[in-house]
Chain A
Amino acid sequence: MVVEPKAPIVEMRQITKTFGSTRALRGVDFTVLPGEIHALLGRNGAGKSTLVSCLSGIVAADSGRVRIGQADIIANGESYAAALRDEIAHVQQTPRLFDLLTVAENLFLENPAVRRRGWVSHRQMIARAAQVLETWGIEISPTALAGQLGAGTRQLLEIIKALNRGVPVMILDEPTAALSNAEKRVLFDHVRALKAQGVSFVYISHHLDEVFEIADTVTILRDGQTVTERAAVSSLDVETIADLMMGQKTQRSVREDFTDASAPPLLEARGLRLGKGTVDFQVRKGEIVALAGPVGSGKEDLAMILAGHKAPLGGRVFSPSGKLPVIGLVPTDRHASGYVGLLGVRENVTLGGLDLLSGGLGFIDRGREAAHVGDLARRTNVIAASLEQPVGQLSGGNQQKVVFARALCRDPQVIVALSPTRGVDVGAKEQLYGLLRDLAAKGMGVVVVSDEEDEISQLANRVVIVFEEEIVGELVGDYSMKDLILRMEGVA
C-alpha cells in the first residue's frame, strides 16, 4: 500500500515585505502540513513575526502567494485578512487583550457561541469562561478585569482565545516567553491534544529546547530569507540550529564570580514583608544574585521593592553607606512598561538617564546623548534601521534590548532585571550575559529574576529561592545544574 503524502494546508510562495528601507522578507517559501507543529526559528529581526503576520493577514505581503486550505491569495500589498478569518488564528508577540474588559468578555469577544439573535448572553458567557478556565487549571474569576492579571495569565488567555476559535491553523508567536514552567506544561498538553485532532501549528520560540519537545519540523530564517526549509527535528540538534540561526558559532559562556565580600553591601533589605513572612536580603558589589521560585512566590514583588518601584507591607530597604545606590530596572512586561512605542530608540534609552544626560538647567546635552545612547545600543546589540526608529517597529527581541539599554543609561550601581532576556535570541543572550558580567566585574550589583535554569546557572553567583513570600533556600558559589533544578522543582 502506498502512503499518500498529505497535501499541505498552508503554502506561502515567494513572499516579500518591505517596511520603509527595511526589507523584512525577500522571497520566502513556507509550507505546513495538516496536524504538524512547525517551528519557525531565526535570530531577532530575521522576519519571523513578519512572515506569520503575512500568513494571517495582519500585515499584507507586498507580493507572493498565500494559500490556507481553500483560501488562495495573490498578495499585492492590499489587506486580505478578512479572506482568511475562518482559516487561521494568530497569537501575536505583543499582547492584544482589552484591559478594561473582563476575562470572560475577552475570551468570547466576537465569538458566535455566546450570541443569540445578535444579543450576547452574559450568563452563558461567564459559565463557559469558567469552564474553559477550569480545563486550563487557571484559578481566576471570569469576571476579573484583564488589565489586573499577571503577564503569564494574560498570555494564556490570549492563547485560549485563539485556540477556542476552532480553526485548522494556529500561529503561536513566542507563546512561552511570559509563561512559567508549569504554565508551559499546560499549554503543551493542549497543543498536543489539538494536534491529535489534525490542527496545525506554526510555533515561534527562542527556547530551542522547546522545539525538540514539541515540534516536528523546523524552518530557519535569516535576514528575511530561508536558510533551512522543512528540516525534520530529529535531524538537528541545539548547536546546529543556533549556528544556522546566527550564521556563526555561538559559544555558551559560564558564570564568573566577581563578588566583593569585603565591602559592605550595596543594597540591603531588612524585615521586608511581602505577605505573611519577612525577608532579609542583600546584594554586594560585583555580585550577581538570582531570585527563583514559582509564579506568585513573590520573587517579582521582592525585586520591584528592591528597585524602589513598589512599597513593601513592612520593613525597609537601605544602603549601609547611607545613600541609596542608583538602580536600573528591567521590568517584566516590556509591552506594558518597558518602552514607549512611538518614540525612537534614542529617546527611549535616554528616558532611563534624563538627569545624567542633561546639563545644569536641565536641557539635554544632545552630543553627549547621541554618544552615550549609541554606545549603549551597541553594547546591548540593538538592531534598528536607525536610532530614530520608533521602538514599536522593532522586532520583539530588539525591543527587549532597548529596555535593557534604558536600564543601564544612568550608569546604575545596582541593576534589577526581571526576565531580562525574554524574547532575545541565543546569540544576543550571550552578549547580554557578557555585558552583565563586565559590569559586575566593575563593581555593579546585579539582581536577576528568572524562570530559566540555564540563564540562572550561566549568570548567578548566588541563587535565592523564594516561596510563598519568604526566602526558603539559597545556593552559593559552586552549585551544579542538578542542585539548581532540584531546588527549583522542590518548591514548584
Chain B
Amino acid sequence: MMVRAERSRWQAFGQGFVAHGFTMYPVLLLLVIVGAVVAPRFLSTINLINILEQVSVLGLTTIGLSFVVLIGRLDLSLEGIVGFAPMLAAVLMASASAGGYGVELPGWAGLLVALGSAGLIGFFNGFMVVRVGLNPFISTLGLLVLLRGSILIISNGRSIYSPGAALTYLGSAKIAGLPVSVLVFLAVAVLVGCIFQYHRYGRALYAIGRNEEAARAAGIDVDRVIWSAFVFAGLLAGLAGVLMTGRLDSAVTTQGEGIIFSAFAAAVIGGVSLGGGKGNIIGVVSGVLLIGVINNLLTLAQVPSFYVQASTGAVIIVAAVLTTLASRRSSGVKTRT
C-alpha cells in the first residue's frame, strides 16, 4: 500500500514536471556540466552572458512563433520580418551617403517604423488566414520569400551600418554588465508566460488550439484571437530583428536567414506541439537555451565549423525525440478525444 502511494506520488511529480515544461532542464544542466569539463572557459560569466545575448533574438522569435503554433497555425514569414523590419527602419534613418533614402527619420521614429511594420505584416498574415481563408503554411511561405526579396529591393542589396543609436540601443547597450537585449528577452518571456497561463487570452489560445469549434460555441471570438496571434507573432519577430540589428550595429541584408528553422526546433524541443494547444513558455525558453548552449559548446570545443551545423541538427533530433518520449510516457492513460 505504502509503496503504491509512493510510486503514484512520483508519477504525479513526473507528470507535473513534463506538463509544466521542465523536461529539458535536466538535459540542459547535464550539458552545462559537460561544457564545464571539456571547455573551462564555458562557465565564465562573460561566456554565459554571451550565450544569453546570442539566444535573445532566437528567443523572441520563438515566443512569437509559439503564439501561432499554440492555435494550431504557423508563421514562416517571421524570418522575413526579422530582416525586413529593421532594414526598413534603417533605410529611412540613414543618410543618403550611408545607403539610406535621405529621409533621415529621428531614431525613435525608426524604432516605431520597425515595430509598426512588423505588426502590420502580422496583421496582413492574420487577414489572409482569417478572412481570405488561406492555409497559413502557403500564405506565410509566400510572404517570407516576398520579404526576403523586398529587403534586397529597399536596401539596394547593401547592408546599412550604424543606422542610429535609438534603433541599436536595445541590442547593444548594457545595464550593470547585463545586455539590455537579455533583459528584454527575459521580460517578454515572463510577461508572455503569465499571459499564456493566467490571462483569458491564453486560455482562449489553448482552447482554440485543441478544439476550435468548442471554443467558438463557448462564446470566444475565435477569429479575433487568431488574427491577433499573428499580430503578436509579427511584433515579437520585429523586436527580435531590432535586437539583432543593434548587436551587429547594422541592418544586414541576410539578417535572420534560417532563424525560423531554429525557432521551430526550439519550440518542439521545449514541448510545444505543432498540432496546437500544447506547450508553454518555460518549455520554449528551455528549447532556446538548449540550442544556444549547444552552438556555444561546439564553437568552444573548436569543432570545425563545417561540423557545427550538422551536429546542431543531430542534437535537435535527439532532443525532440526525448521531449516526445517524455510527454508520451507522462500522459500515461490515453485520453479519449
A interface with B by C-beta (< 8 Å)? 19-21, 94, 309, 328-329, 331, 336-343, 347, 350-352, 354-355, 357-358, 361-364, 366, 390, 392-393, 406, 410
| A439 CB, nearest partner CB in chain B, Å | 17
B interface with A by C-beta (< 8 Å)? 8, 194, 198-201, 203-204, 206-207, 210-211, 213-220, 277-278, 332-333, 335-337
B216 (CB) vs chain A CBs: closest residue: A337
Chain B residues with CB under 8 Å of A358's CB are: 199-200
Quick one: which of A19, A21, A329, A347 contacts B203, CB cutoff 8 A?
A347
Assess the B213–A337 pair: CB atoms within 8 A: yes
Chain B residues with CB under 8 Å of A329's CB are: 217, 219
| A24 CB, nearest partner CB in chain B, Å | 11
Assess the A393–B333 pair: CB atoms within 8 A: yes
Chain A residues with CB under 8 Å of B278's CB are: 342
Chain B residues with CB under 8 Å of A362's CB are: 199-201
Assess the B219–A364 pair: CB atoms within 8 A: no
Assess the A343–B200 pair: CB atoms within 8 A: no
| B92 CB, nearest partner CB in chain A, Å | 34
Assess the A340–B217 pair: CB atoms within 8 A: no
Assess the A341–B198 pair: CB atoms within 8 A: no
Interface SS, B side: helix
Assess the A392–B336 pair: CB atoms within 8 A: yes
Quick one: which of A328, A341, A352, A357 contacts B335, CB cutoff 8 A?
A341
Assess the A343–B219 pair: CB atoms within 8 A: no
Assess the A342–B277 pair: CB atoms within 8 A: yes
Assess the A341–B336 pair: CB atoms within 8 A: yes
Quick one: which of A328, A342, A351 contacts B215, CB cutoff 8 A?
A351
Q: A338-B217, A343-B210, A352-B218 are in contact. Are A364 and B277 (CB under 8 A)?
A: no
Quick one: which of A94, A337, A340, A355 contacts B200, CB cutoff 8 A?
A355
Chain B residues with CB under 8 Å of A390's CB are: 335, 337
Chain A residues with CB under 8 Å of B217's CB are: 309, 329, 331, 337-338
Chain A residues with CB under 8 Å of B213's CB are: 336-337
Assess the A20–B218 pair: CB atoms within 8 A: no
Chain A residues with CB under 8 Å of B204's CB are: 351, 354
With A and B bound together, what is the CA distance between A295 and B270 in angstroms?
48
Chain B residues with CB under 8 Å of A406's CB are: 218
11 A–B contacts from the bound complex (CB under 8 Å): A20-B333, A337-B213, A341-B337, A343-B210, A354-B203, A357-B200, A358-B200, A362-B200, A363-B194, A363-B199, A393-B335
Question: Looking at B204, B277, B336, which has the most chain A CB atoms within 10 Å of its CB?
Answer: B336
B278 (CB) vs chain A CBs: closest residue: A342
Chain B residues with CB under 8 Å of A393's CB are: 333, 335-336
With A and B bound together, what is the CA distance between A401 and B203 in angstroms?
21
| A100 CB, nearest partner CB in chain B, Å | 14
Quick one: which of B199, B201, B203, B216 contacts A350, CB cutoff 8 A?
B203
Chain A residues with CB under 8 Å of B203's CB are: 347, 350-351, 354, 364
Assess the B210–A342 pair: CB atoms within 8 A: yes
With A and B bound together, what is the CA distance between A362 and B213 in angstroms?
23
| B225 CB, nearest partner CB in chain A, Å | 11
| A112 CB, nearest partner CB in chain B, Å | 29
Chain A residues with CB under 8 Å of B216's CB are: 309, 337
Assess the B336–A340 pair: CB atoms within 8 A: no
With A and B bound together, what is the CA distance between A347 and B219 in angstroms?
14
Question: Top 3 closest A-B pairs, CB basis?
Answer: A341-B337, A392-B337, A337-B213
Chain A residues with CB under 8 Å of B201's CB are: 362
| B278 CB, nearest partner CB in chain A, Å | 8
With A and B bound together, what is the CA distance between A429 and B18 in angstroms?
39
Chain A residues with CB under 8 Å of B206's CB are: 340, 343, 347
With A and B bound together, what is the CA distance between A393 and B332 in angstroms?
12
Assess the A363–B215 pair: CB atoms within 8 A: no
Chain B residues with CB under 8 Å of A357's CB are: 200
Chain B residues with CB under 8 Å of A336's CB are: 213-214
Assess the A342–B200 pair: CB atoms within 8 A: no
A331 (CB) vs chain B CBs: closest residue: B217
Chain A residues with CB under 8 Å of B333's CB are: 19-20, 393
Quick one: which of B194, B200, B335, B337 contacts A354, CB cutoff 8 A?
B200
With A and B bound together, what is the CA distance between A366 and B335 in angstroms?
26
A339 (CB) vs chain B CBs: closest residue: B214
| A44 CB, nearest partner CB in chain B, Å | 15
Assess the B200–A338 pair: CB atoms within 8 A: no
Chain A residues with CB under 8 Å of B207's CB are: 340, 343, 347, 351
Chain B residues with CB under 8 Å of A343's CB are: 206-207, 210
With A and B bound together, what is the CA distance between A421 and B11 in angstroms?
36
Chain B residues with CB under 8 Å of A340's CB are: 206-207, 210-211, 214-215, 277
| B191 CB, nearest partner CB in chain A, Å | 12
Chain B residues with CB under 8 Å of A355's CB are: 200
With A and B bound together, what is the CA distance between A410 and B220 in angstroms?
12
| A272 CB, nearest partner CB in chain B, Å | 20
| B216 CB, nearest partner CB in chain A, Å | 7
B208 (CB) vs chain A CBs: closest residue: A340
| B220 CB, nearest partner CB in chain A, Å | 7
With A and B bound together, what is the CA distance between A309 and B220 in angstroms?
11
Assess the A341–B200 pair: CB atoms within 8 A: no
A354-B220, A362-B201 known, 20 other contacts, Cβ within 8 Å: A20-B333, A329-B217, A329-B219, A337-B214, A337-B216, A337-B217, A339-B214, A341-B210, A343-B210, A347-B203, A347-B207, A351-B204, A351-B214, A351-B219, A354-B203, A358-B200, A363-B194, A363-B199, A364-B203, A366-B198
| B8 CB, nearest partner CB in chain A, Å | 8
Assess the A364–B335 pair: CB atoms within 8 A: no
With A and B bound together, what is the CA distance between A426 and B278 in angstroms?
37
With A and B bound together, what is the CA distance between A355 and B200 in angstroms?
7
With A and B bound together, what is the CA distance between A352 and B215 in angstroms?
9
Question: Looking at A357, A366, A392, which has the most chain B CB atoms within 10 Å of its CB?
Answer: A392
Assess the A352–B219 pair: CB atoms within 8 A: yes
